[in-house]
C-alpha cells in the first residue's frame, strides 16, 4: 500500500556515526524529522517544518568531541528529556501534524540505511523496556529505493546521502547543522525520485519483527551467510532472550538454537539464523554488546553448524514441534513408569476451590506431550510439554519440584532446538553397557588382571573396556582433593598412581565431577557400591563404576563423534598433554590414551621411550559456574605460573592429575615451592 506521506528520520548517538552507527552501544541523543506529502503524483510537497528532539541519555559521561561534530553541547543534552518521554512527544507531534480534515493521513518512516532503526532505536528501547509506537516497525530504506531505479550506479553499502544528492543534482543549504543537513538531503532526494522523469512509487516497506516466532526452522532457509554463533550467554538465557539481544533484526522462525553439552546442560552458546545476509551482517556488529551485565561474543557460523543443533529431528519430534505459537516446558526426573495421562493430570489437576488461574492445560492434550526415550524404547525420565500461551507456561513452571508419584519433577522453560538436541542425543547414543563385574576375580592372566610384576612392585595397568574407574558426580564446588580422599575412606589406598582426575571448566573452576582410576575392577565396583549417594558436606555424591573409555568419552564430550553426531565443537584449541612421568619406586606410568604394552616393556624400571604427543579435545563447560570455589594457580614472585600437575586449557575443560597415592605424601606448606598446599611425593625407602 502506498503511504500518503513519508517522514524522513535521522537519529544521532553520543558515539559512532555513519556505517558504524549503533556498533558501540552508545545512547540516542537526537531525533530530527520532516514530513513529505506524496498524495500528488506529480509534485512532492514539504508539508511540515524541520523538527528536532534532544534526548537525555543515562550515561554520566559523554564524548564532547562527537557532540560538537553534530552541533550539540553537553549542557543541551543533559537539559533534555529522557528517551521514553521524547518518543511519546515524537508520536504526538507527528500525529497532530498529519491530521487533515479530521482524518490522520497514512505515513511511513524513511531512513538513510538500516542502522538508524534496527541498530539504534530498537535495541536501546528493548534494553530500557520502552514500548515503541507502531510506526517504528516499518520503514523505507532510502538507499534501497534509490538502487531500485539506479541499480548499476553503486552498491548499497557504498551509497551515502551526499553521493545520491550529487547524482540527482540536488542542492542543500550547507550551513545547516549536521542532522538537519542530512534530513534536508533526504527530503530533496525523495522529491526528485517521485517526480518526473523517475516517478518512483514507495511501496513494500521494510518490516521489523515485533516478536520472535518459536517453532521449527525451515531447513531450506538456512544458508552459510545467514547464521551467527553467540558465546558467553548466561545459562538461564532462553531463545526469547537471544531474540531480545538482537532486537531490530529479523530472526527466522525457530532460528534461535541454544547449544547443549553431552550432559544436556546449556553451555552458554547459541546459533542464530537470520532471514537474510544483511541482517546477519548487522548482527555481527553487536559483537561484545551486553546482555544484562555480560558481554556477548558474536562470530560467523555455517548453516551446517545450525542444522546440527536445530535440524535432523525424527518425524515424531517434527510433529510435536509443528504447532504454531506454543510455549515449550521441559520436565526432568519423571518416574520411568510415567504415562502421558499422568503428565496431563500433573498439570491439569485443579480442585473446584482452586482459582482457574492455577490451572495450566496442556495444548493438544496427549499430543502436546513428548516422552523422551532411548533407542530400545526405555524412558529417560525427560519429557517436553506444549502450552498454548505464555501465561499457562508460567503457571506450569510454578509446579517446579512438585511430586509426581514418589519423585519430585524439575521444570524448565525450553526451546525447539533443545527438544531436537535432547531427543537426538538419546535416540542416537545408547547408554554405555556397564554390567556389574564379579566380586571374585575370574581373570586368568596378569594382563587381564591389570597387575604386572615389576622389579619394584605391582603396577596397575590401564586397560580399555574394564570398569576399573569410578565417576563422582555432584561434588560441592569447593571440594578439595582431601575431601575426596576422606569421602572414599577405606578405598583411598586402592587409587592407582596419578589416578584422581578433577574436571575443571573453562574458567578453571571445579565442575562438580571427578574421575578416579582404581587398582582393580573389584575395588572400583565396591567403592561405587558403598559410596554411592553418600553425603559430602551438604550434598550427596553419585558414584558410578566406569571404564577408561567412558571417562575419555565424557572428557571429550564436546568433540564430534565419528558418525558426525553431537553438537558442533566449540572454537577452542587442542592442547598437548604432558609426557608420562617416571617414579623410581613404581616403574613407568602409562599415559591414559596409549594402548596396551607387552609385559617385558614395563618390567624394566626406566622411563618410556619418546612417544608421539597425545592430543586431547576438551569440551565446552557444562554451564556458567558459580562465583565461588575457584582455586587460582600459584604464581611466583616473578610472575611465573608453577606447574602443579594441571594441564590448563583456555576455552575448554582441564584435567587435574593428583600425584600417586601409592607413594608416601605430605602436605607442602612452603609457598615458595609448588605454590603451597600441594601434595609432595616422598620416595619410599
User: What percent of the chain is modeled with pLDDT above 70?
Assistant: 70
Strand partners, 495: 518
* pLDDT beyond 70 at 481: yes
Check residue 496 and give its pLDDT: 87
How does DSSP classify residue 516?
A: E
Range with the largest mean pLDDT of 79-83, 453-457, 574-578: 79-83
How many whole angstroms separate alpha carbon 354 and alpha carbon 274?
44
Confidence of residue 295 (pLDDT cuts 50, 70, 90): very high
Contact partners, residue 297, CB within 8 Å, separation at least 6: 230, 231, 232, 287, 288
Is residue 477 pLDDT above 70, yes or no? yes
Confidence at residue 572, expressed as pLDDT on a 0 to 100 scale: 35
pLDDT at 224: 85
Angle between helices 161-168 and 178-194 (to 10 degrees): 40
pLDDT mean over 141-154: 91
**What are 283's three cell numbers?**
548482527
Please give the C-alpha separations between residue 184 and each of 18, 165, 202, 252, in angstroms, as whole numbers. Answer: 17, 10, 18, 36
Contact 348, 366 (CB under 8 A): no
C-alpha angle 185/191/196, rounded to 5°?
Answer: 135
Q: pTM of this prediction?
A: 0.58
Concatenated DSSP letters of 160-198:
-HHHHHHHHT----TTS-HHHHHHHHHHHHHHHHHSTTT
pLDDT in tens, 235-290: 888 888 999 999 999 999 888 988 888 777 788 899 999 999 999 999 999 999 99
Contact at 8 Å (CB) between 477 and 510? yes
- Which three-class secondary structure state does DSSP give residue 530? helix
Whether the CB-CB separation of 246 and 272 falls below 8 Å is answered with: yes
Distance CA 374, CA 427 (A): 5
* Rounded (10°) CA dihedral 366, 370, 376, 378: -80
Strand order in the sheet with 495-504: 534-536, 539-546, 469-473, 510-518, 495-504, 654-658, 646-647
The more confidently predicted of residues 640 and 212 is 212
Nearest C-alpha neighbor of 541 from the set 489, 475, 485: 475
Q: What is the pLDDT of residue 617?
A: 30
In percent, the amount of the chain with pLDDT more than 90 equals: 39
**What are 11-23's pLDDT values in tens digits?**
999 999 988 999 9
Q: Does position 361 have pLDDT exceeding 70, yes or no?
A: yes
What pLDDT score was predicted for residue 581? 33
Query: pLDDT digit string (tens) for 79-124?
Result: 999 999 999 999 999 988 888 666 788 999 999 999 999 999 999 9
pLDDT of residue 340: 92
* Residue tagged 538465557 (cell numbers): 237
C-alpha cell at 267: 553451555
Residue 13 to residue 44: CA distance in whole angstroms? 30
Cα separation of 263 and 365, whole Å? 30
pLDDT at 158: 78
Residues 195-208 as b or e (16 or more Cβ within 10 Å = b): eeeeeeebeebbeb
Q: Is the pLDDT of residue 356 over 80?
A: no
pLDDT of residue 232: 93
Amino acid at each position: 500500500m502506498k503511504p500518503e506521506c513519508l517522514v524522513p528520520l535521522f537519529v544521532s548517538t553520543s558515539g559512532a556515526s555513519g556505517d558504524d552507527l549503533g556498533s558501540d552501544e552508545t545512547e540516542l541523543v537526537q531525533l530530527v524529522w520532516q514530513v513529505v506529502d506524496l498524495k500528488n503524483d506529480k509534485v512532492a510537497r514539504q508539508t511540515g517544518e524541520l523538527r528536532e528532539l534532544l534526548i537525555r541519555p543515562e550515561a554520566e559521561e559523554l564524548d564532547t568531541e562527537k557532540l560538537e561534530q553534530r552541533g550539540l553541547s553537553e549542557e543541551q543534552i543533559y537539559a533534555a528529556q529522557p528517551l521514553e518521554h521524547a518518543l511519546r512527544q515524537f508520536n504526538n507531534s507527528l500525529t497532530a501534524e498529519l491530521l487533515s480534515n479530521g482524518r490522520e493521513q497514512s505515513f511511513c518512516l524513511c531512513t538513510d540505511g538500516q542502522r538508524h532503526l534496527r541498530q539504534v532505536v530498537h535495541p536501546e528501547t528493548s534494553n530500557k523496556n520502552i514500548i515503541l509506537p507502531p510506526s517504528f516497525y516499518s520503514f523505507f530504506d532510502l538507499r534501497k529505493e534509490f538502487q531500485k531505479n539506479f541499480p548499476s550506479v553503486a552498491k548499497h553499502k557504498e551509497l551515502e546521502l551526499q553521493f545520491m544528492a550529487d547524482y540527482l543534482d540536488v542542492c542543500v543549504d550547507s550551513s545547516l547543522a549536521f542532522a538537519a543537513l542530512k534530513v534536508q538531503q533526504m527530503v530533496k532526494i525523495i522529491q526528485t525520485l517521485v517526480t518526473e522523469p523517475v516517478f518512483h512509487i514507495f511501496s513494500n516497506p521494510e518490516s521489523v519483527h515485533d516478536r520472535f516466532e518459536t517453532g521449527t526452522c525451515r531447513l531450506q532457509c538456512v544458508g552459510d551467510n545467514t547464521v551467527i554463533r553467540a558465546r558467553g550467554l548466561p545459562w538461564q538465557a532462553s531463545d526469547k532472550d537471544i531474540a531480545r539481544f538482537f532486537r531490530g533484526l529479523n530472526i527466522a522462525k525457530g532460528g534461535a538454537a541454544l547449544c547443549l553439552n553431552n550432559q544436556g546442560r546449556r553451555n552458554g552458546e547459541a546459533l542464530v539464523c537470520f532471514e537474510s545476509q544483511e541482517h546477519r551482517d548487522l548482527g555481527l556488529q553487536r559483537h561484545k554488546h551486553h546482555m544484562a551485565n555480560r558481554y556477548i561474543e558474536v562470530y560467523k557460523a555455517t548453516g551446517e553448524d545450525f542444522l546440527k543443533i536445530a535440524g535432523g529431528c525424527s518425524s515424531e519430534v517434527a510433529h510435536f514441534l509443528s504447532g504454531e505459537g506454543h510455549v515449550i516446558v521441559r520436565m526432568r526426573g519423571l518416574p520411568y513408569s510415567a504415562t502421558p495421562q499422568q503428565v496431563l493430570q500433573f498439570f491439569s489437576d485443579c480442585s473446584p476451590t482452586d482459582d482457574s488461574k492455577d490451572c495450566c492445560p496442556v495444548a493438544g492434550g496427549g499430543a502436546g506431550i513428548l516422552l523422551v526415550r532411548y533407542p530400545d524404547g526405555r524412558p529417560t525420565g525427560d519429557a517436553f510439554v506444549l502450552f498454548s500461551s505464555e501465561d499457562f507456561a508460567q503457571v506450569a513452571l510454578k509446579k517446579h519440584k512438585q511430586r509426581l508419584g514418589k519423585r519430585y519433577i524439575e521444570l524448565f522453560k525450553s526451546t525447539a532446538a533443545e527438544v531436537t538436541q535432547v531427543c537426538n542425543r538419546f535416540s542416537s547414543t545408547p547408554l554405555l553397557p556397564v554390567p556389574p563385574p564379579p566380586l571374585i576375580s575370574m581373570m586368568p592372566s596378569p594382563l587381564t588382571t591389570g597387575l604386572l610384576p615389576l622389579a619394584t612392585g605391582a603396577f596397575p595397568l590401564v586397560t580399555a573396556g574394564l570398569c576399573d574407574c569410578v565417576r563422582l558426580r555432584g561434588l560441592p564446588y569447593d571440594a578439595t582433593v582431601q575431601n575426596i580422599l576422606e569421602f572414599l575412606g577405606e578405598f583411598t589406598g586402592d587409587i592407582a598412581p596419578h589416578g584422581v582426575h578433577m574436571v575443571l571448566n573453562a574458567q578453571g573452576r571445579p565442575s562438580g565431577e571427578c574421575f578416579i582410576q582404581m587398582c582393580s575392577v573389584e575395588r572400583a565396583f565396591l567403592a561405587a557400591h558403598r559410596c554411592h549417594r553418600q553425603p559430602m558436606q551438604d550434598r550427596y555424591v553419585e558414584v558410578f563404576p566406569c571404564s577408561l573409555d567412558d571417562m575419555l568419552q565424557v572428557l571429550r564430550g564436546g568433540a564430534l563423534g565419528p558418525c558426525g553426531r553431537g553438537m558442533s565443537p566449540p572454537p577452542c584449541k587442542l592442547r598437548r598433554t604432558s609426557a608420562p612421568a617416571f617414579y623410581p619406586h613404581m616403574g613407568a606410568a602409562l599415559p591414559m590414551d596409549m594402548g596396551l604394552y607387552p609385559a617385558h616393556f614395563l618390567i624394566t624400571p626406566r622411563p618410556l621411550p619418546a612417544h608421539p604427543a597425545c592430543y586431547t579435545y576438551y569440551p565446552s563447560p557444562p554451564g556458567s559456574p558459580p562465583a565461588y570455589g575457584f582455586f587460582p594457580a600459584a604464581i611466583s614472585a616473578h610472575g611465573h605460573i608453577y606447574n602443579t600437575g594441571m594441564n590448563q586449557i583456555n576455552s575448554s575443560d582441564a584435567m587435574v592429575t593428583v600425584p600417586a597415592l601409592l607413594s608416601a605424601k605430605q602436605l607442602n606448606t612452603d609457598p615458595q615451592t609448588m605454590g603451597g598446599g600441594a601434595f609432595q611425593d616422598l620416595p619410599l625407602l
